Chains A and B, each alone.
Chain A
Amino acid sequence: MADPISYNREEKGAQPPNLFPPYVSSIKRAPQQRLLLVPQTLSEVTGPVYGHSKVLPDDSDLTRQHQGAPLGERIIVSGRVLDENGRPVPHTLVEIWQANAAGRYIHHGDQHPAPLDPNFTGAGRMLTDAEGGYKFVTVKPGAYPWRNHPNAWRPAHIHFSLFGPSFLTRLVTQMYFPGDPLIPHDPIYNAVPDKKAAARMISRFNFDTTMPEWALGFQFDIVLRGRNATPMEQ
């Protein structure tokens, strides 16, 4: 069997290092040995085609998962999932999770004394369409404090998890909101060395996806690793 067509490696500066001391949790959890550069084999260029049977239509509307409507500013988060060559990534699973409008996660480990909302769980999932498009309806998450350093606050964010077509395209990231004054102070955001690359994580307010008298639209396009144009000699 011929060697598989490989994927581009990590874009320099666009991905955070394992160790970023201002993010204190990375200090004891970052490997100290250099990562071992390995060839991309069939094991890496394949990957899970996951979740198709488990995704329900209502899973993408986080405001309709309970009897009542959740409190907070209703928003529409939409965008496209593309690869580095600009090609859409169709039919791939997108999972999101977030705090409620008060900045509290439903998670048992979240002890922030902000109210839970009985009408909001904060988890959603859907598959991208044939053009790589996705759309979630939710509420804008609140900022919340954490104990990384004195008076530390996470900027409002939505967690995203994506698979793409291979083991190599797997991505877990966070989407931020434009104009958030906490972003420049956030060590997780700042762990991305290239500031232009980091800014790709900030969504864009979009009048075109804003629904009149209903919800503000934020656009967040996601770019996964793409395939090399030509097969690479190994």
Chain B
Amino acid sequence: MSFGQTPSQTVGPFFHFALPYNGDEVLVTDRTLGERITIEGTVLDGESEPIPDALIEIWQANAAGRYDHPDDQQDKPLDPAFHGFGRCPTDKSGRFHFHTIRPGPVPGPGNTLQAPHINVTVFARGVLKQLVTRIYFEDEEKNADDPILGLVVEPERRATLIAKKKSGDKNVYVMDIHLQGTGETVFFDV
């Protein structure tokens, strides 16, 4: 018997009638604990043209820093009103957005602590295998000690992982995702 991995293939251009469900980009209800934030951004190609047929998925811990998953056995509370998964297709202008909460910090390798972050997966036509990145927050002191951010040596590359606060718009963070070229986002081999 062979148990080799099934290969990945592109999501293609025609997933919209099957994968996104209304409301998948809203991770919170009235009862969710934590600070409400909005993440918004644009997905761009190597010529800085917006990508109107991408699908963004996010996965994050709750406000206390615990994932709603059986392998997270931390002594922190689960939030029955928060599960941490969101999905949003980009619109004609390549834009996506999520309404969620600021996650708490979670443990990293060894005895390190990871700064609050959101895990991101990008699917699109032309993308043969999903791209993985993260969203950190610019107004977060713990970024300086984050073990994953610390792996990115060049400051300008590191900046691609950090969402900027939108001026004049409280609790809105902007995170553009550049698949290629100028300002290319750091993507991870996980």
Chain A residues at the B interface, C-beta cutoff of 8 Å: 1, 3-4, 9-11, 14-18, 20, 23, 25-33, 35-50, 54, 82-86, 95-97, 99, 105-107, 109-110, 121-124, 159, 161, 165-168, 170-174, 188-189, 191-192, 196-198, 200-201, 222-226, 234
Q: Which residues of A contact B7 (CB under 8 A)?
A: 14-16, 173, 192, 197-198, 200-201
Q: Which residues of B contact A200 (CB under 8 A)?
A: 4, 6-7
Contact A33 B129 (CB under 8 A): no
CA A120 to CA B45, docked complex, whole Å: 34
Can you list 28 residue pairs at the A/B interface with Cβ under 8 Å?
A1-B74, A1-B107, A11-B4, A14-B7, A26-B126, A31-B184, A32-B184, A33-B157, A33-B187, A36-B186, A36-B187, A38-B151, A38-B188, A38-B190, A41-B147, A43-B106, A44-B119, A49-B69, A85-B3, A86-B1, A124-B18, A166-B71, A174-B12, A191-B9, A191-B128, A197-B4, A200-B6, A225-B5
Tell me the dominant secondary structure on chain B's binding face.
loop
Partner-binding segment picked from B31-39, B109-117, B164-172: B109-117
CA A42 to CA B109, docked complex, whole Å: 9
Contact A122 B180 (CB under 8 A): no
Q: With an 8 A cutoff between CB atoms, is B81 at the interface?
A: no
Report A202 CB to chain B, min CB distance, Å: 11
Q: Which residues of B contact A225 (CB under 8 A)?
A: 5
Contact A49 B184 (CB under 8 A): no
Interface members, chain B 3-55 (any A CB < 8 Å): 3-19, 21, 45-47, 49, 51, 53
Contact partner, B8, options A15, A25, A27, A121, Cβ 8 Å: A15
Q: Which residues of A contact B110 (CB under 8 A)?
A: 3, 234
Contact B15 A16 (CB under 8 A): no
Q: Which residues of B contact A123 (CB under 8 A)?
A: 17-18
Contact partner, A167, options B21, B119, B128, B152, Cβ 8 Å: B119
Report A170 CB to chain B, min CB distance, Å: 6
Q: Which residues of A contact B117 (CB under 8 A)?
A: 43
Q: Given A1-B74, A38-B148, are A159 and B11 also a contact pair (CB < 8 Å)?
A: yes
Q: With an 8 A cutoff between CB atoms, is B175 at the interface?
A: no
Report B157 CB to chain A, min CB distance, Å: 8
Q: Which residues of B contact A1 (CB under 8 A)?
A: 73-74, 107
Contact partner, A84, options B5, B14, B49, B179, Cβ 8 Å: B5
Output the nearest chain A residue to B127 by Cβ-Cβ distance: A29
CA A47 to CA B85, docked complex, whole Å: 8
Output the nearest chain B residue to A81 by Cβ-Cβ distance: B6
Q: Which residues of B contact A45 (CB under 8 A)?
A: 71
Contact A15 B109 (CB under 8 A): no
Q: Which residues of B contact A23 (CB under 8 A)?
A: 10, 126, 128
Contact B5 A30 (CB under 8 A): no
The digit string for B81-120, where 1 denotes a CB below 8 A from any CB of A, is: 0011100000000000000000000111110001001010
Q: Which residues of B contact A223 (CB under 8 A)?
A: 3-6
Contact B4 A39 (CB under 8 A): no
Q: Given A171-B6, A197-B7, A201-B7, are A29 and B46 also a contact pair (CB < 8 Å)?
A: yes
Contact B3 A188 (CB under 8 A): no
User: 10 closest pairs, A vs B, by CB?
Assistant: A25-B126, A97-B18, A48-B85, A46-B69, A123-B18, A29-B126, A16-B128, A35-B189, A46-B67, A107-B14
Q: Which residues of A contact B126 (CB under 8 A)?
A: 23, 25-30
Q: Given A167-B119, A173-B7, A200-B6, are A41 and B114 also a contact pair (CB < 8 Å)?
A: yes
Contact B13 A172 (CB under 8 A): no
Contact partner, B5, options A10, A42, A159, A170, Cβ 8 Å: A10
Q: Which residues of B contact A30 (CB under 8 A)?
A: 126-127, 179-180
